[in-house]
Amino acid sequence: MLIVGLGNPGRDHQRERHNVGFMVVDRLAASAGARLARRRANAKVAEIRLADRQAILAKPQTFMNLVGGSVGRLAAFHRIEPAALLVVCDDLDLPAGTLRMRPFGGSAGHKGLRSIFANLGTQDFPRLRIGIGRPPGRMDPAGFVLQPFTRDEWETMDLVLDRAVSAIEVFAAEGIEAAMTRFNGAPR
């Protein structure tokens, strides 16, 4: 299993909305006592045990629009079929804090997903989308995703990141249907 968090590399982007995929993968690694320190296929990677099986965690170190090359090389190197790839990313169209796991689907305008589709030649892989909400007023969505979460938003996002890790653990142990049933939607 390959779990890829999407984000932009570098300290300047660490706490931005667009980097929730990185945040989830970091939290999953920490819960397993691992650190994404090794480099492979232009990504930081770590190997952990998840539901009694090997899982590779990855944070591509290209910018969002170009992650497909890194994801494709990682999947090829580890012989990962699309059904065993889980991509974790932000979603502007979901209310902040909402999780949505799906077995396949479109990009909903997410350039990182488009890059992966183009590289893998398929849209048929699971993804976990994390709602970051819409920009206020007439703010440009491209600028909004590159803003850090506010202090108040962090209180919510901290809980959301934990829920996302739990969703991935259920996905690994019981499959996507169980994870979708338990975690899709806003926190209850």
pLDDT tens per residue, range 19-75: 999 999 999 999 999 999 899 999 999 999 999 999 999 999 999 899 999 999 999
Active site residues: 18
C-alpha 121/C-alpha 99 separation (Å) is 25
Q: Average the pLDDT over 82-97 and give the result.
A: 95
Instruction: Examine the pLDDT at 148 and tell me if it is beyond 80.
Output: yes
β partners of residue 90: 130
Taking Cα atoms as reference points, which of 178, 159, 182 lies closest to residue 51?
178
Instruction: Examine the pLDDT at 188 and tell me if it is beyond 90.
Output: no
Q: What is the predicted pLDDT for the residue at 161?
A: 96
CB distance 6 to 130 below 8 Å: no
Q: Average the pLDDT over 86-110 and give the result.
A: 94
Taking Cα atoms as reference points, which of 138, 129, 134 lies closest to residue 92?
134
Q: What is the predicted pLDDT for the residue at 155?
A: 87
Helix (H/G/I), strand (E/B), else coil: 21: helix
Place of tokens 């899982």: 55
Q: Which domains, ranges and CATH numbers included, belong to the chain?
A: 2-183 (3.40.50.1470)
Place of tokens 């009694």: 52
pLDDT tens per residue, range 116-145: 999 999 999 999 999 999 998 899 999 999
Instruction: Examine the pLDDT at 187 and tell me if it is beyond 80.
Output: no
